[in-house]
């Protein structure tokens, strides 16, 4: 499997679904880049990734060990489905992913952080409402895109 160099381009959007799972493709990109020493500022297992790990019951270490085998996305998806505890059925995965995509920012401290990050991206933007909105915009501007 070819490793993505996250010092040159961002990981896949958190909205890209693999087997219905939001975040999984992004988590895999960060895992591969971390193993290759090419993660840049991206952190595998960060708080957003933890939503995926909590939902599946898989530990970051277990997934990283599986990624280290060189397995492709499909093989890793099959492994996730076989090792999720409790096992997840497609409608649960779809509902969880939909929730994650629209999840509110959180408590007052999180809102303060979020507002500062949105302002950093572009002071006039009011369309950044969710963490996924922020991640997509931040990835875009971090690699030279216009806000």
Tens digit of each residue's pLDDT (9 = 90 or more) over 97-132 = 999 999 878 877 888 988 999 999 989 988 998 999
**Among candidates 83, 79, 73, which has minimal Cα distance to 26?**
73
Whether residue 68 is found in the same domain as residue 115: no
Residue that the structure tokens 């969710």 belong to: 130
Domain extent, residue 74, equals 1-103
**Same domain, yes or no: 66 and 28:** yes
Are 56 and 109 in the same domain? no
pLDDT digits (tens, 9 = 90+) for 38-64: 999 999 999 999 999 999 999 999 999
112 and 99, same domain (yes or no): no
Distance of CA 91 to the CA centre of its chain: 20
- The model's pTM: 0.93
Provide the number of structural domains found in the chain.
2
Measured CA to CA, the distance from residue 114 to residue 133 in angstroms comes to 11
Q: How confident is the model at residue 37 (pLDDT cuts 50, 70, 90)?
A: very high
CB 21 within 8 A of CB 93: yes
Q: Are residues 75 and 145 in the same domain?
A: no
Q: Are residues 96 and 122 in the same domain?
A: no
């Amino acid at each position: 499997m070819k490793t993505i160099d996250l010092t040159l381009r961002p990981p896949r959007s958190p909205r890209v679904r693999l087997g219905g799972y939001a975040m999984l493709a992004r988590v895999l990109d960060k895992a591969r880049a971390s193993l290759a020493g090419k993660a840049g500022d991206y952190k595998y297992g960060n708080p957003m990734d933890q939503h995926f790990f909590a939902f599946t019951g898989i530990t970051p270490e277990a997934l990283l060990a599986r990624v280290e085998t060189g397995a492709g996305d499909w093989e890793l998806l099959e492994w996730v489905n076989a090792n999720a505890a409790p096992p997840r059925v497609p409608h649960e995965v779809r509902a969880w992913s939909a929730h994650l995509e629209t999840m509110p920012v959180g408590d007052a401290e999180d809102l303060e952080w979020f507002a500062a990050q949105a302002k950093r991206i572009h002071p006039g933007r009011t369309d950044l409402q969710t963490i996924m909105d922020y991640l997509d915009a931040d990835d875009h501007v971090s690699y030279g895109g216009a806000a």
